[in-house]
Amino acid sequence: MNAMNSAARARLERMGIRPTDARVRLLQELLGRKDHPSAAELIDAIRTQDEAPGVATLHQNLAKLVELQAIRRFVDSVGLFRFDACLDQHHHMVCAACGAVVDVPVSAKAREILEQGAMIAGERAGWDVRSMTLRFEGLCPACRDLEV
Amino acid sequence: MNAMNSAARARLERMGIRPTDARVRLLQELLGRKDHPSAAELIDAIRTQDEAPGVATLHQNLAKLVELQAIRRFVDSVGLFRFDACLDQHHHMVCAACGAVVDVPVSAKAREILEQGAMIAGERAGWDVRSMTLRFEGLCPACRDLEV
DNA sequence: TTACGTGCAAACGTTTTGCACAAAC
DNA sequence: GTTTGTGCAAAACGTTTGCACGTAA
């Protein structure tokens, strides 16, 4: 817990913004999770540990962290913003039933082929393609069992 | 216009829901567009042609069409629902600057390799992977010129 | 002391729901 | 006459903004 606390603190200092309590707790929570919490889930998670964080502050801090590229933001299939402290390139596998999102590594070869394809498709259409994301949809182990 | 009108009407009848005016106009508009309009954009587009459609009705009808798989719904990068009458499998290329979304075909070979990768990754994690979507991000021709 | 961060409250934009009325089977 | 669809108004939801108050450099 303390290790994570200082990891979060260090990350904040490294990018030149004040490691306030609200920010350290937020980043610490995000670093310690493997799922992709929404703003509301983050508020809940932080609330239970201590007191209550302000909604506005949390959103402001999330926005700042995204802007500084300390975390990533994406939109889930119901239109909710979700956040992710993992900066390595990875793709998402989402459960059609429960909405769970897990990270999935894709083979380097597949990625290479895809990126080539992206460049070709983009250039043909006059686009400047900068990144590529894969999204798999299916059933997670739990929901798969329920369906059968 | 009349051809599209009857195409929309036929599509509605074929799936067993009443081809009311609101629905025909909605589907007709969607069939005639190559972009991926949001609900608000659809309302605007239909409003100018004739009178004003009800917000609730439009959303209800969009939801029904999605449920019946007559159209597709997805979420854009700012969290807005966007709709698409094209049912062929295709991927999306989105502009980081203006948010435009265009369809992009991906070579069959690339897709095949990717799908294999998805199955392997999914099975390894105990998932039942059912589909795969690619999302390219970059700058569309117009925004690209502005940046330079 | 000056810039930055917090958090309440209120505003915002999109989507959803309750309901009475109208139209189609 | 019963089911189905419409559309107004109001609610719900997540997010953003205005602002007064703290807190840290």
Q: What is the pLDDT of residues B76-92, one digit of tens each?
A: 989 999 999 877 778 88
User: Which residues have a Cβ under 8 Å from the Cβ of B68 and sit 6 or more positions away?
Assistant: B15, B17
* pLDDT surpasses 80 at B107: no
B79 CA from C7 C1′ (Å): 25
**B127 to A109: CB separation less than 8 angstroms, yes or no:** no
Distance between CA atoms of residues A141 and B122, nearest Å: 10
Nucleotides of D under 7 A from a protein CB: 4-10, 14-18, 24-25
* pLDDT surpasses 80 at B35: yes
* pLDDT surpasses 70 at A50: no
Please give, rounded to a whole number of angstroms, the shortest distance from the CA of B6 to a CA of chain A: 32
B60 CA from C16 C1′ (Å): 9
Please give, rounded to a whole number of angstroms, the shortest distance from the CA of B127 to a CA of chain A: 5
* pLDDT surpasses 80 at A70: yes
Q: Which of A26-30, A102-106, A118-122 has the lowest mean pLDDT?
A: A118-122
Distance between CA atoms of residues B66 and B63, nearest Å: 5
**A110 to B106: CB separation less than 8 angstroms, yes or no:** no
The 3-state secondary structure of B114-137 reads: HHHHHHHHHHHHCCEEEEEEEEEE
Average pLDDT, chain A: 84
The per-residue pLDDT for range A15-32, each reduced to its tens digit, is 889 999 999 999 999 999
For residue A29, give the nearest of A3, A61, A4 by alpha carbon: A4
Residue B79 CB in 7 A reach of strand D: yes
Tell me if A143 sits within 8 A of A95, measured CB to CB: yes
Residue B54 CB in 7 A reach of strand D: yes
Residue of A59 and A112 predicted with greater confidence? A59
A95, A117, A135 ranked by CB distance to B110: nearest: A117
**B130 to A139: CB separation less than 8 angstroms, yes or no:** yes
**B127 to A144: CB separation less than 8 angstroms, yes or no:** yes
Please give, rounded to a whole number of angstroms, the shortest distance from the CA of A42 to a CA of chain B: 18
Distance between CA atoms of residues A93 and A99, nearest Å: 10
Please give, rounded to a whole number of angstroms, the shortest distance from the CA of A81 to a CA of chain B: 7
CA of A40: nearest nucleotide by C1' is: D14
* Average pLDDT estimate for A38-52: 84
* Average pLDDT estimate for A52-77: 92
Under the banding of pLDDT at 50, 70 and 90, the label for residue B1 is very low
Using a CB–CB cut-off of 8 Å, the residues of B that contact A are: 74-81, 93, 95-96, 102, 104-107, 109-110, 113-114, 116-118, 121-122, 125-141, 144
Domains of chain B: 1-87 (1.10.10.10), 88-148 (3.30.1490.190)
Distance between CA atoms of residues A139 and B128, nearest Å: 5
The per-residue pLDDT for range B46-76, each reduced to its tens digit, is 886 567 788 999 999 999 999 999 999 999 9
Residue B23 CB in 7 A reach of strand D: yes
* pLDDT surpasses 90 at A140: no
